[in-house]
């Protein structure tokens, strides 16, 4: 049986050392400033090629998270146009480091815009994107105008982008906070997208259907370890933990999930 790839979101300077320190065989990282509009960069000594080789040598799968500011769905040209440009730059550099995928939030439209406009903007982006690595759209926790919060909206989105090879990243905290029943969510999302490429296994600080995106350590939030573990089991996809403990280098987070999955 092939061991499931599990690891934390880590700092950019030495993601391989961070993975080894907690016994992880996968990590997620940013390429540059997650809150900025500058071109992506690799801070690992030796650059992209050195990071690619180090990850291969250590058998660590790399995943990149796009900057939070990107929103390819919006009607605001000053956001949408640079978002497309930087998304392509992120994809290009992710390919250089040998990443398995690049995660991007689904984005949203303005309050007076029809959601269909945002869906169409996503379609145009997907059509023009040179996806050298899989681009994984992540479900979001809140926002009535979000492109990837409700199952209905995800269905509309996938009808527009599915044929262009977009992948899917399932975040347990976001789904719970969006009001999705985790016991059924994997099956329902698979019926829409046909795929789950990556799981963000995060507990939630806030209550079900709160719309809040606040992660908690596994078993310490309002979801609990068991429902999250069952999502991971059902999805059968690599896992990244964005919990406070995992991001701070606490190996117990990964260990707890591995132990649960072994039962």
Q: What is the pLDDT of residues 12-47, one digit of tens each?
A: 999 999 999 999 999 999 999 999 999 999 999 999
What's the chain's length in residues? 263
Q: Which residues pair with 169 in a beta bridge?
A: 138, 198
Q: How far is CA 16 from its chain centroid?
A: 19
At 2, the pLDDT band (50, 70, 90 cuts) reads low
At 143, the pLDDT band (50, 70, 90 cuts) reads confident
pLDDT average, residue stretch 144-153 = 95
Tell the CATH superfamily of the 6-262 domain.
Answer: Divalent-metal-dependent TIM barrel enzymes (3.20.20.150)
Q: How far is CA 41 from its chain centroid?
A: 19
The answer to whether 34 touches 67, Cβ cutoff 8 Å, is yes
96 Cβ neighbours under 8 A, 6+ residues apart: 42, 48, 49, 52
Domain extent listing, the chain = 6-262
Identify the pLDDT of residue 20: 96
| Tens-place pLDDT, residues 58-100 | 999 999 999 999 999 999 999 999 999 999 999 999 999 999 9
The answer to whether 149 touches 143, Cβ cutoff 8 Å, is yes
Q: Return mean pLDDT, the chain.
A: 96
Exposure letters 177-212 (e unless 16+ CB within 10 A, then b): bbebebeebbeebeebbebbbbbbbbbbbbeeebbb
- Lookup: tokens for 209: 């259907």
């Amino acid at each position: 049986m092939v061991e499931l790839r599990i690891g934390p979101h880590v700092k950019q300077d030495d993601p391989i050392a961070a993975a080894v320190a907690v016994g992880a065989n996968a990590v997620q990282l940013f390429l540059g400033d997650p809150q900025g509009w500058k071109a992506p960069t690799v801070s690992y000594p030796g650059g992209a090629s050195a990071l690619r080789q180090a990850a291969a040598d250590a058998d660590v799968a790399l995943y990149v998270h796009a900057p939070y500011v990107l929103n390819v769905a919006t009607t605001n040209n000053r956001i949408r146009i640079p978002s497309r440009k930087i998304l392509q730059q992120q994809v290009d550099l992710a390919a250089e480091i040998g990443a398995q995928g690049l995660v991007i939030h689904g984005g949203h439209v303005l309050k007076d815009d029809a959601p269909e406009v945002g869906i169409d903007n996503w379609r145009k982006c997907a059509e023009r994107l040179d996806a050298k690595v899989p681009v994984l759209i992540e479900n979001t926790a809140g926002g009535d105008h979000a492109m990837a919060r409700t199952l209905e909206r995800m269905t509309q989105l996938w009808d527009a982008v599915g044929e262009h090879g977009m992948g899917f990243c399932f975040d347990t905290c976001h789904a719970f906070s969006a009001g999705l029943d985790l016991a059924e969510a994997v099956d329902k999302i698979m019926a829409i997208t046909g795929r789950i490429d990556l799981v963000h296994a995060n507990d939630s600080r806030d209550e079900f259907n709160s719309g809040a995106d606040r992660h908690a350590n596994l078993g310490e939030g309002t979801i609990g370890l068991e429902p999250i573990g069952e999502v991971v089991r059902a999805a059968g996809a690599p896992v990244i933990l964005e919990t406070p403990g995992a991001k701070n280098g606490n190996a117990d987070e990964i260990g707890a999930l591995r132990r649960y999955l072994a039962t």
